[in-house]
Each structure stands twice: as structure tokens, then as C-alpha cells.
């Protein structure tokens, strides 16, 4: 077996230090994708590679960003209040807290989520609250509000990464912030932002994890570990990773990426068929001496995988 080739995974998000020209090009690209008479921040957020908050900060507001992009006619024409002109940076802590209470009151809630604030307020965003008070929880606490029940759930890093991988395979590309609210994702984008700091940082952590080499033991190391006495409570690995049926997360992603998130037999892909479920399968089964290695793994849809059974096909 040959070692897997070096693979680089690049985020679709624009870097923070990108130029204004790159941001303008992105706004124009999203406008061509949306194809509506007006380009709202909501439609923009669905397809963009740089957040609407970052765009507002760059140009001083959404209207100014559209003006700079030559898309003044795409502005929705909402009334701009004095507070909106001042921007969230000029608001006092008390004004931010009052705005949180106002949004909660309008929604009839004693708790708020990130989307509640992003959609319900024209003068602050969820990121404003995090920056101003150190965390989302702290901001809500200062405002006398609660976290949503979903915010109390705790996931491990691996669970966060597994969920991103599931969404990535489903769309056949890097999922957007908004798409993480939709099936098959079971963890909200707000949870990622709360855990990693921002959605981009969560993606960066995912890419680092997927690019890591899976630790492997040489035959000599396996023999040495087996011969070394260890306490009964410590169990050394009984077999090398390549002999195990379970396929490590990073290796699965490498195989799926190589196969372009499609079944190598019939070409089915979750991005085109929501009912398609992709598996990473051993070409030469373990029962016949196959290994859990990059060269012996392939992407198969559930239908082709079940039909294959334990047969080995060239």
C-alpha cells in the first residue's frame, strides 16, 4: 500500500485581512447567485464567504457596501435611524442591554438566541453582544435574560467535527453558517460560535483536525507495547489502527474529498439527492486481509455498499 498523498483543505471563507476589492467582488458574486431585485443582508448571509457584520464594519453600513459595489439600486430602502448611523460601537452598555430586552419583549421570550438578535435588531448583532460583554451568556445575564435550552447542551470537539463532516458531505462543499441550522446538521451554528469563538474559528479547527496525520504504530512499537507490563487499568491498543474496522474521522474526510463526495460506482451524491447516504467502505474487506488505509477505502452510497456485501471487486 502507498501512503496517502498530501492533501490540503482550504476554507471557502475569505480571510480577515482580505482587501476591500475582494469583499466587493464577493458582494457582486453573491448578488449574481441570489438574482433578486434587492440584495438583503439575509440573502447575502445565505451565500457569502465573509459575514455581513464584517462587511458593515468595512464600509460603515450595508448601504455603503452596496454603493461601493456599484449596487446602490439593490438596497432595500429601510429607514436608517440615528442609532443605526452611530453604529453599535457608539452605543453604551446600557443601550445594548436595553436593545436585548426590547427584542426579547417583542418576541415574548425570557431568553434569546443569536438569530433572534440578528433578525430582530437593526442596531446590534449577536457578535456585538459577545464583543461587548466577553460572552453571549454574560450579555444575556446582564440584561436579565436566559440562555436557550439548546445552549446548555455540551458537545466534545469530535462531536462538533463529526457534525461539520456530515453537513460537508451532504452539500458536497463547505457548509455555510446558515446551512448549519438545517438538516442533516444537528448542532446550531450559534453553538459553534459559542464554543470556538466564531464560526470561522470552528471551521479552522475542523480543517486542522482533518489535516492531521492519524497516528500509526510500527510493527516494532506494537510488539514492544504488547511485551511491556502495564497496570490492569491501562489497556494498550490490541491492534494497529490500520487493522481496525472503525475509520478515523480525518481519514474518512480525506477519502470523501478524494472521491468528490460521490459514490464511486453510481455517481450518486447527497448534494444532488437528499436521500443519498454516503459510506466510506473497504475495497478489500478486512476479513480478506484488507487494511483501513487511504488506498483501500472508497466512497459508496448506501445502496451500492449494501449490494456489494463482502465481495471484493477490482
| Exposed/middle/buried for residue 62 (C-beta within 10 Å: 0-12, 13-18, 19+) | buried
Q: Which three cell numbers mark 264?
A: 464511486
Residue-level pLDDT at 264 = 94
DSSP string, 292-304: SSGGGEEEEEHHH
φ and ψ of 274, to 5 deg: -55, -25
Residue-level pLDDT at 87 = 55
Lowest-confidence pick of 148-152, 164-168, 207-211: 148-152
* Residue of 19, 18, 63, 17 lying closest to 44 (CA atoms): 63
φ and ψ of 139, to 5 deg: -65, -45
Q: Which three cell numbers mark 162?
A: 463529526
For the chain, what are the domain ranges?
Answer: 8-78, 153-211, 244-314
Contact residues for 278 (Cβ-Cβ < 8 A; gap 6+): 169, 256, 261, 262, 263, 269, 270, 299, 300, 301, 302
Determine the 3-state secondary structure of 31 from DSSP.
helix
Residue 100: enclosing H or E segment and its boundaries? helix 93-107
Q: What's the CATH number of domain 244-314, 1.10.1070, 1.10.30, 1.20.120, 3.40.50? A: 1.10.30
What is the band of 297 on the pLDDT scale with cuts at 50, 70, 90?
A: very high
Contact criterion met (CB below 8 Å) for 180 and 189: yes
Q: Which three cell numbers mark 301?
A: 452510497
CA dist 266 → 215, 255, 303 (Å): 33, 17, 9
User: What is the CB neighbour count within 10 angstroms for residue 6?
Assistant: 7
User: What is the CB neighbour count within 10 angstroms for residue 308?
Assistant: 18
Residue-level pLDDT at 263 = 93
Residue-level pLDDT at 162 = 92
53-105 pLDDT, tens digit each: 788 888 888 889 999 999 999 887 654 454 444 456 778 899 999 999 999 99
The conformation of residue 146, written as its DSSP 8-state character, comes to B
| Exposed/middle/buried for residue 229 (C-beta within 10 Å: 0-12, 13-18, 19+) | exposed
pTM equals 0.54
Residue the block writes with cell 455517481? 267
273-282 pLDDT, tens digit each: 878 889 999 9
172-226 pLDDT, tens digit each: 888 888 888 787 888 888 788 878 888 888 998 998 888 876 544 445 544 554 4
Residue-level pLDDT at 97 = 92
2-51 pLDDT, tens digit each: 444 444 555 667 777 788 999 999 999 999 988 889 898 878 877 888 88
Q: Would you call the peptide bond into 184 cis, given omega within 30 degrees of 0 as the criterion?
A: yes
On the CB side of 300, CA atoms within 13 Å amount to: 17
Amino acid at each position: 500500500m502507498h501512503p496517502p498523498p498530501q492533501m490540503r483543505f482550504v476554507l471557502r471563507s475569505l480571510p480577515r485581512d482580505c482587501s476591500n476589492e475582494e469583499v466587493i467582488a464577493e458582494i457582486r458574486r453573491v448578488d449574481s447567485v441570489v438574482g433578486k431585485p434587492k440584495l438583503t443582508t439575509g440573502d447575502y448571509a445565505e451565500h457569502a464567504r465573509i459575514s455581513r457584520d464584517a462587511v458593515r464594519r468595512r464600509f460603515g453600513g450595508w448601504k455603503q457596501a452596496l454603493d461601493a459595489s456599484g449596487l446602490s439600486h439593490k438596497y432595500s430602502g429601510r429607514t436608517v435611524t440615528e442609532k443605526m448611523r452611530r453604529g453599535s460601537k457608539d452605543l453604551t452598555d446600557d443601550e445594548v442591554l436595553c436593545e436585548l430586552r426590547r427584542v426579547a419583549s417583542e418576541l415574548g421570550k425570557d431568553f434569546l438566541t443569536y438569530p433572534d438578535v440578528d433578525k430582530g435588531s437593526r442596531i446590534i448583532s449577536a457578535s456585538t453582544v459577545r464583543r461587548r460583554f466577553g460572552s453571549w451568556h454574560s450579555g444575556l445575564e446582564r440584561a436579565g435574560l436566559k440562555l436557550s435550552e439548546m445552549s446548555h447542551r455540551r458537545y466534545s470537539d469530535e462531536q462538533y467535527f463529526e457534525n461539520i463532516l456530515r453537513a460537508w458531505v451532504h452539500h458536497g462543499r463547505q457548509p455555510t453558517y446558515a446551512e448549519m441550522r438545517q438538516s442533516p446538521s444537528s448542532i446550531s451554528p450559534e453553538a459553534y460560535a459559542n464554543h470556538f469563538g466564531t464560526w470561522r474559528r470552528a471551521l479552522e479547527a475542523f480543517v486542522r483536525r482533518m489535516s492531521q496525520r492519524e497516528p500509526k504504530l510500527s510493527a516494532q512499537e506494537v510488539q514492544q507495547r504488547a511485551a511491556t507490563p502495564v497496570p490492569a487499568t491501562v489497556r494498550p491498543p490490541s491492534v494497529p489502527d490500520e487493522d481496525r474496522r472503525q475509520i478515523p474521522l480525518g481519514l474518512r474526510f480525506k477519502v470523501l474529498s478524494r472521491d468528490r463526495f460521490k459514490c464511486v460506482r453510481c455517481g450518486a451524491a447527497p448534494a444532488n439527492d437528499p436521500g443519498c447516504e454516503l459510506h466510506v467502505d473497504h475495497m478489500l474487506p478486512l476479513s480478506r486481509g484488507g487494511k483501513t488505509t487511504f488506498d483501500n477505502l472508497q466512497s459508496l452510497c448506501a445502496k451500492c455498499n449494501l449490494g456489494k456485501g463482502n465481495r471484493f471487486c477490482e
